[in-house]
Structure 1
């Protein structure tokens, strides 16, 4: 007789094949969603531009020329110049790298801390769940931007501080999402059977709980990236994020507020960059939700066949 309990050395065929088939079906459904594909293409373009920004920028980001200040968009300056004669196009594409870096690092920070807290809290329950969730509730008691402002004010403004602040405020969100998903998975028969057969708790968490909560967590990651972009722009607009003369989309909006009537391009183009990036992340999150959530996947397949 063989031990039917799935272990690292003894995975069962029924554990592997349905998951593989589900992943294939999910990817096919995702590839068939034109809105999601559009968002992926936009995000890939933004990422490529951010990586190649030092070579794509036609001018230095801090290259000033007061004789060309507040010039409207032209063949020489595609998005015009600001009040110091700096090329707005060059500053926007260089700032894209900074914004994406801050968003990615801060969300990874929140993911790495929040998801384990949520899984442990939901799986163990009892006093552990009560203590961890009360700590999360305390963080939720503060508005997101207000908590980020407080953290930045304590640690002093800067790029690293902005990453920490945004990461901290998003940590309880990931903890809540992971806990809610864990609570629904831990009562499933395959988890109860594993417990009965004496499977170690750490293996249940890694083999059964974590794979079955990836859908909501991945969707939350995409949405958090969108809000992280907005949070970084807000902090920079208030002077607590990226510090001048380094370019940032929020900082460029702050510089433009005194020239709204005479130089519309100073605010329109940075605002458009924020809008397009946030929209793309949100559309990607919606697409991922449709293929990773079984109920939403069923509805999406029905709409596609209709």
Structure 2
């Protein structure tokens, strides 16, 4: 077994040995299954109005109860989770591609390019996340595409800073210097030496950004600037429940619980990945286990 294979096996053992990380991974696996199959597993149509059965509490027929129009809350939560995950994944993927490209190029080239690019990133980073997203949505108009673009733009500076910081530490390593001395092309050096060695922090940041993207989408939808009706969204469902909190608690509790579970699972998974992918954290954990 090679050293790289041994490292992978050790990483998997560390992950498997953390019950919190394993539990969060299982929860996220269930969420992903829901996100893929929501259209086929919903018990009722998401916009099927049944006024005589409005505001019915959770029961055997409607597990999560019904809303003010008699629509099944469970069906709407499942489809809303699918929409939230789609927005989060696409927007964070956009931020990863753009942000990592900017950060790696700036950190690798250095000089005036690094200074100019990172000052622009710092300007974007100075704005509060939700305020910047609101500004983008206000300019382009509400909708799914705009929400994805707004969240992607907001989280691009974060990935740019993480990628740049990691690149600055890796580019001075002997194997990178040797590759450049041998006349290897920049693209080859970036793809073979830089990117694989900065993947750890980026993976952890991706997990955490997915959690905050879920929250950002819910906030925008709550304000009426995200996913638009009649398509269900978790934030919009919570907004619609404000007038019925004392009459139908389930209208707010179940969409809110879905947000909490997904965000908590993503954060816990990010913590577990950090423990494995961060050499310092990994060394501390292994030393603690040996001493115990």
**TM-score tier after normalising by the smaller chain length:** over 0.9
Deviation for aligned residue 1:161: 0.7
SS across alignment from 2:241:
helix
1:106-145 matches, cutoff 5 A: 106-145=91-130
SS across alignment from 1:52:
helix
Deviation for aligned residue 1:195: 2.1
Distance 1:117 1:27 in 2: 31
SS across alignment from 1:75:
coil
- What's the TM-score once normalised by structure 2's chain length? 0.97
1:162-181 matches, cutoff 5 A: 162-181=147-166
Among 36, 46, 50, the residue aligned to 1:61 = 46
1:181-260 matches, cutoff 5 A: 181-260=166-245
Distance 2:39 2:126 in 1: 41
Higher mean displacement: 230-239 or 21-30: 21-30
Q: Is 1:21 paired with 2:6? A: yes
Distance 2:139 2:32 in 1: 32
Higher mean displacement: 200-209 or 132-141: 200-209
In the alignment, which residue of structure 1 is the partner of 2:29? Answer: 44
Distance 2:12 2:216 in 1: 31
Q: Is 1:92 paired with 2:77? A: yes
Distance 1:304 1:56 in 2: 43
The count of residues paired between Structure 1 and Structure 2 equals 291
Q: CA RMSD in A?
A: 1.3
In the alignment, which residue of structure 1 is the partner of 2:19? Answer: 34
SS across alignment from 1:84:
coil
Q: Deviations over 1:38-93 (max 9, x none)?
A: 01100111111222212211111001111111111111111111111111001001
Higher mean displacement: 268-277 or 134-143: 134-143
Deviation for aligned residue 1:17: 4.1
Deviation for aligned residue 1:300: 2.0
Distance 2:217 2:120 in 1: 25
1:250-289 matches, cutoff 5 A: 250-289=235-274
SS across alignment from 2:134:
helix
- What's the TM-score once normalised by structure 1's chain length? 0.92
Distance 2:284 2:59 in 1: 48
Distance 2:46 2:287 in 1: 50
Distance 1:255 1:30 in 2: 40
Higher mean displacement: 201-210 or 272-281: 201-210
Deviation for aligned residue 1:124: 0.9
Structure 1 unaligned segments of length 5 or more: list them.
1-15
Structure 2 unaligned segments of length 5 or more: list them.
none
Among 145, 167, 185, the residue aligned to 1:160 = 145
